Amino acid sequence: MSMLTVNNVHTYYGSIHALRGINLTIEQGEIVTLIGGNGAGKTTTLRTISGLLKPAQGEIMLEGDDLLRYKPHEIVYKGLSMVPEGRGVFARMSVLENLEMGAFSRNNKQEIARNLDHVMTLFPRLKERRTQLAGTLSGGEQQMLATGRALMAEPRILLLDEPSMGLAPVLVELIFDTIVQINKEGVTILLVEQNALMALSIAHRGYVLQTGEIVLSDKAEKLKSDPEVQKAYLGIE
Amino acid sequence: MNNTNKENSLWAAIKIGLLGGAVALFISLVGMAEVFSKRDVVEKTMTLGQFVLLAISVASGLLAARRTAALLDKPNTASQAAAGLVAGFFSAAILTLFVVIGAKINIRTVFLNASPGLYSMLTLNQGVSGVWILPVAGAVSGLLGALSLSLPNAVRRPLFHAILFIFFMALFSGLFRVVMINQSGFWEKTAKYLFSQTGMTRPGAAIFFALVAAISAFWSAKGQAIKTDVANLPKGGQIGLRVIAFAVIAFIALGLPLVSGAFIAQVIVIVALFILMGLGLNITLGFAGLLDLGFVAFYAIGAYTVGLLTSYGQYGLQHISFWAAIPLAVLVAMAAGFTLGLPVLGVRGDYLAIATLGFGEIVRLLAGSDFLAKYFGGPQGIIGIQKPCIGVLGEFTKVDVPRVCYSLFDAAKPGIELGTPQSIYYIAVASAILIAFVSWRLRESRLGRAWMAIREDEDVAEALGVNLIQTKLLAYMLGAAMAGLGGAIFATLIGSIFATSMQLIVSINVASLIIVGGMGSIPGVIVGAIALIGLPELLREVSEFRYLLYGATLIIMMLAKPEGLWPSKTTQRELHHLDAGTSAE
């Protein structure tokens, strides 16, 4: 059984037809990336999967469980976490409080404490700044915090929306290294990125999204060498 | 270069002076100066009105001197003193001009408060020929303000504190006097020695001045050492200190109504009720970030529930006791919170403010309407609300006859009826303390975290597993419950309720006191309620200008201390995040 299956999903913003029949499959343990230009529907896809948007039509299955039956806040209990675009840290809460909020869906205090330790080792910067207000962190630290917070829910699949946005190249590399590490620890990853080159270099497979439709899907290596993709998204003529 | 700076500093002094003058003119024309001049700071020496006007000149002089020091390359005492003199002169010049013009032209048709009383107050009863007093007094005050800058800190601080204390003492002298005279004997004699009918006596003022200055000087010299001494105490000693402090506070709190008289007790009850409302709104607005401008509705609902359930008047439904009605009032208010919350769940920001505003008005209009008058009494309101009774209530016999309160042990003897403000004080203060504790526990709870998360970002909170519907509804319901409790106590305090006392301005007051105290901070609510509700209630002179001072306070607060008087730790860190950055490990 696939980890996540998205079947013929259509999502509207009012009268705008944002997703026109999306099909995706993600297998257990994979890193799958979704690349595409501005307004292609990448974020909409993630928001639809995580339940914040209701599709007009289609099917979203998490390990054979129909996600559309659940309310948005229930989906995290099914093992799916999202790191939203622009990080969405709780600016007026401390780093520690943010991380604790990430474990909102869980009850076992010991496990949460263990998870907290794990996140702190993954992102030592967060440990240094744990009493600081999240709004006062730098962009890279906020991205770490948002990622760490999502991990606090102990997800089996993690959805990341543009983790490289607005970050210095060094930090982008650091974040992507961490993503690989998280994946190695057994978390399946769906990564949405504008920085297609970076995304394809760590992903196993990729989908190319254009005006609400999947136009291409293949192994990451293949996509990287595809002339169309190179021209449109990798800036290689 | 130096020359232009000199010119600049002259201009700055004139500008500051004129600004001070404008403020002085304003408070004269709104009538504040004249009302204040009826109260003395020091008997036969200085009225409060004169004090305030002189304080403006002193402040102008001080600011001008400070500005000069910043502008000049080599500031010296002489140039600063000159700047103070100029600023002080100009701060009084506007009023001088006003008196001269007012003597020629009757401007009272436009400015109602430009009365003969005001003119004679400004010229020390000398008439227009004595108008020279004003600029001279202004210039001297400005000079003194400027010179105070060159005083060493160890002198200036105590001086400032003493003058400030004298000002507040003058404002409250009437209250202290009445309370002390009621005690008779030694206290009465002391009161008569320290206070006159209208303010402080000369020896009284001198004693207070010396006392406060001495304490302030002592504290600035030794305060730090005492603090470290206390911090270095062993754990047992610290706990002991806390217990002593707690005992003293508890003793004062318990004993206060016994000596204070009905008026002060009633003011404290009203402050406690606003604290209850403030704590309630602090949950919806401060914690969960849901603006509610119709908050008075829940207060009204709590009050009306108690009224309808306990009144022995014609609208009374059940004639139950106050104690039985209180939990019901809280439940009904919670249900009302649910009813408000449900339709506005998806509404955010400005729209939420409008929707809740509407809710508050609807409740008030319905309660006071002729249409529902046979249930709620319409504009006549509900009267004859049963007072709380510690004991057994007699049977309800007929309309307009209160149920008799019998002793718990002997049915023939009367029980304790909590009919006076002094006795309601205990109910109100105990409720406020209880609800403050509940608020604090809620904030630290899982629910409290969820509220803060939705305040910060609803979508993310939802994605993390926060049930938005449940969390928001709980915020509305618990906030409403606290306001409902306040309303319930209010009903029994006054003994009757009218829809007209449930105005929008009450909601605005509650929102203001939260903002002034510090959004999301529980001690902030208490400080805000004392500052915005308690002080104007106590100061009859000021109450006429309550909303003027309100507005001024809010603006000054937003400019000078946007985090509030007693901010929550978070807000403090947010607004001064540089300090937070360095203090982080």
pLDDT 10s digits, A79-88: 999 998 888 8
Which tokens sit at B391?
């004991």
Interface residues of A toward B, Cβ cutoff 8 Å, are 50-52, 71-77, 81-82, 84, 88, 90-94, 97, 100-102, 104-105, 128-133, 135-136, 149, 153
Nearest CB to B449: which of A88, A100, A131? A100
pLDDT at position A27 over 60: yes
For A120, the 3-state DSSP assignment is: helix
Whether A52 sits inside 8 A of B585 (CB atoms) is no
A199, A191 contact by CB (below 8 A): yes
| pLDDT for A34 | 94
Q: Are B18 and B86 in contact (CB under 8 A)?
A: no
pTM: 0.86
- In this predicted structure, what is the pLDDT of residue A95? 94
User: Are A104 and B577 in contact (CB < 8 Å)?
Assistant: no
Asked whether B360 and B508 are in contact (CB, 8 A), the reply is no
| Kind of pairing between the strands at A188-193 and A205-210 | unpaired
Q: Which H, E and C letters describe B421-470, residue by residue?
A: HHHHHHHHHHHHHHHHHHHHHHHHCHHHHHHHHHHHCHHHHHHCCCCHHH
| Domain boundaries along the sequence of chain B | 1-150, 153-232, 262-506
Which pLDDT value is given to residue B572?
67
How far is it, in rounded angstroms, from Cα B512 to Cα B285? 12
Contact check, Cβ <8 Å, A131/B456: no
Q: Which of B446, B467, B580 is closest, CB to CB, to A132? A: B580
pLDDT of residue B91: 92
Residues of B in contact with A82 (CB under 8 A): 463
Long-range contact list for B376-381, CB < 8 A, 24+ apart? B376/B304, B376/B308, B376/B315, B376/B499, B377/B315, B378/B499, B379/B498, B379/B499, B379/B500, B380/B498, B381/B496, B381/B497, B381/B498, B381/B499, B381/B500
User: What is the reported pLDDT for A158?
Assistant: 96
Is the CB of A129 less than 8 angstroms away from the CB of B452?
A: no
CA distance B396 to B410: 19
Check if B569 contacts A (Cβ < 8 Å). no
Picking from A55, A63, A86, the residue whose alpha carbon sits closest to that of residue A192 is A86
Q: Which residues of chain B have pLDDT under 70?
A: 1-4, 540-541, 570-585
What was the pLDDT predicted at B585? 30
Q: Which of B446, B453, B573 sits opposite A90 (nearest CB)?
A: B453
How far is the alpha carbon of B569 from chain A, nearest alpha carbon, in Å?
10
| Amino acid found at B179 | V
* Whole-number percent of chain A with pLDDT over 90: 75
Instruction: Give the pLDDT confidence score for residue B329 in this predicted structure.
Output: 96
| ipTM value | 0.90
- Predicted pLDDT at B70: 85
Tokens of residue B105, six digits: 């032209």
CA distance B531 to chain A (A): 26
Cα(B585)–Cα(B583) distance, rounded to whole angstroms? 6
pLDDT of B282 reads: 95
> What is the longest distance spanned by two Cα atoms in chain B?
93
What residues of A are in contact with residue B452 (Cβ under 8 Å)?
A: 90, 92-93, 97
* Interface probe, candidates A47, A76, A83, A104, chain B, greatest B C-beta count within 10 A: A104
Predicted pLDDT at B574: 65
**Could B459 and A128 be called an inter-chain contact, meaning their C-beta atoms sit closer than 8 Å?**
no
Q: Which helix (H) or strand (E) holds B356?
A: helix B349-368
